[in-house]
Structure 1
Amino acid sequence: MNSAPILELHDVHYRWPGRASFALNVPDFAVRAGETVLLLGESGSGKSTLLSLICGTVTAQSGVVLVQGENLAKLTAAGRDRFRAEHIGVIFQQFNLLPFGSVLDNILLPLRFAPERRARVADPKTQAEQLIRSLGLPAELVQARAGKLSVGQQQRVAAARALIGNPSLIIADEPTSALDAATQATFLELLFAQSRANGTSLLMVSHDARLADHFDRVVEMSQIVRMQEVVT
């Protein structure tokens, strides 16, 4: 495994709007290229805020967030949106598929906003079909409406959408919470296989410690995030 970090956070401080008396602090956290990391934490531990900082949808008041060596704070809001689209694949907890779009439309959607990501593959449609098969979905499902799929099928389509175009980092927000243990294990095996094939790093947040054995490294939120009361 490449030891170079794909993601780094150093002395990051963030205060929530309207909650000025509380702040989140991340002294140091990193994910190496090709590494799979499970970040464990209960509700209210700062998981969603940390992911937002990593994705650049919110910015810290101080500190550094680096993705592929790029300091997100030095980018404009539009620049962060473009950077995220090009380099980060996201699997949302609720999947966020377009219900009336086809499976193929949903998988290819990120490439519409990311020309560099689109250029990494010779034929995006072919890669989408390969991802569908590799993630255990029948090939004929490619033209099915996403809203007609089962929860397990939607989850795999969401994974394929995150993986299309070979982003360097996949962020997964509780993507297995609606699945039973056997289906969780199958999904993770397929997701890891695709991540390894593309050299993609994977950071998954969850409250479920039973997932730990599947990952290269497991980190507790309490180990990297400090919730601080700010005296004013």
Structure 2
Amino acid sequence: MPQTSPILTLKDVQYRWSGRAAFDLRIRALNLQPAETVLVLGESGSGKSTLLSLICGTILAQSGQVICAGQDIAALSASQRDKFRADHIGLIFQQFNLLPFASVQDNIALPLQFAKQRRERVGDMTAEAKRLCQDLGLPDEVLTARAGTLSVGQQQRVAAARALIGTPPLIIADEPTSALDAASQSTFLDLLFAQSQAHETTVMMVSHDARLSNQFDRVLHMSDICETARGAL
């Protein structure tokens, strides 16, 4: 089989929060492959949020490399990092971060306002938003509903559609199933993974819930990823 390059590589990464006592996060090596689903487990304070910030380029490592989709994040300016993140990383937040008074369709399309490459891949935005809703188990009429009127489970699927639109190569999910029961968690992940496999999108999800482990290709623990993590966030 042909060799494929990792979609995400962290090598010899070190980050220390200035002014915070005994904080030191070091990651010797981390690689994620195209179309792989990876669960990163860690308790509160284990460094999960800092890891995600390093990957997304909202903070920069003091040493080492973070390479996403072939791009060394540190080589970009702040504005270039914002554009790169919008084009290459789909984000699913723990609180979903939907615009409550905007329609579902407008919420799903929101990343395309900032991501030229994703926008060019979509074509007909309305048709793509409708397709994603259907594939994620949402009825067509939900497209015109205000996001704030939806159930928690429906809002979660809208957040997933927003992350998936324009097929970014990497999806980062930050505790997106924490508000759901076990059956709803499983259903959501099945739907998310079906979409990721269809477009060879890598999914990296961070959580403290080890019960999700059997649904992922690979499970990593923060204690294994980080050589040291003291006072982590």
How does the TM-score come out when normalised to structure 2? 0.96
**Aligned residues of 1:22 and 1:227 also touching (Cα < 8 A):** no
Q: d(CA) in 1 for partners of 2:152 and 2:95?
A: 10
Percent same amino acid among aligned pairs?
Answer: 65
RMSD: 1.4
The equivalences for 1:31-50 within 5 A come to: 31-50=32-51
Change (3 A) 1:167 1:229: closer
Q: For residues 198-231 of structure 1, what are the alpha-carbon distances to aligned partners after superposition, in whole Å with 9 as ceiling and x for unaligned?
A: 110000001111101111101111111133569x
Counterpart of 1:98 in 2: which secondary structure? coil
**Aligned residues of 2:135 and 2:191 also touching (Cα < 8 A):** yes
Which residue matches 1:61?
A: 62
Which residue matches 1:157?
A: 158
Q: d(CA) in 2 for partners of 1:200 and 1:82?
A: 19
Q: d(CA) in 2 for partners of 1:226 and 1:42?
A: 16
How does the TM-score come out when normalised to structure 1? 0.96
Which residue matches 2:216?
A: 215
Change (3 A) 1:229 1:202: closer
Amino acid at match of 1:86: D
Which residue matches 2:77?
A: 76
Q: d(CA) in 2 for partners of 1:226 and 1:159?
A: 32
Q: d(CA) in 1 for partners of 2:108 and 2:127?
A: 11
Which residue matches 2:96?
A: 95
Which residue matches 1:113?
A: 114
Q: For residues 17-73 of structure 1, what are the alpha-carbon distances to aligned partners after superposition, in whole Å with 9 as ceiling and x for unaligned?
A: 321532100100010011000001100100010000000011111100000110000
Which runs of 5 or more structure 1 residues have no equivalent in the other structure?
none
Change (3 A) 1:68 1:210: same
Q: For residues 111-136 of structure 1, what are the alpha-carbon distances to aligned partners after superposition, in whole Å with 9 as ceiling and x for unaligned?
A: 00011110012212111100001100
Q: How many correspondences in the alignment? A: 230
Counterpart of 1:5 in 2: which secondary structure? coil
**Aligned residues of 1:89 and 1:162 also touching (Cα < 8 A):** yes
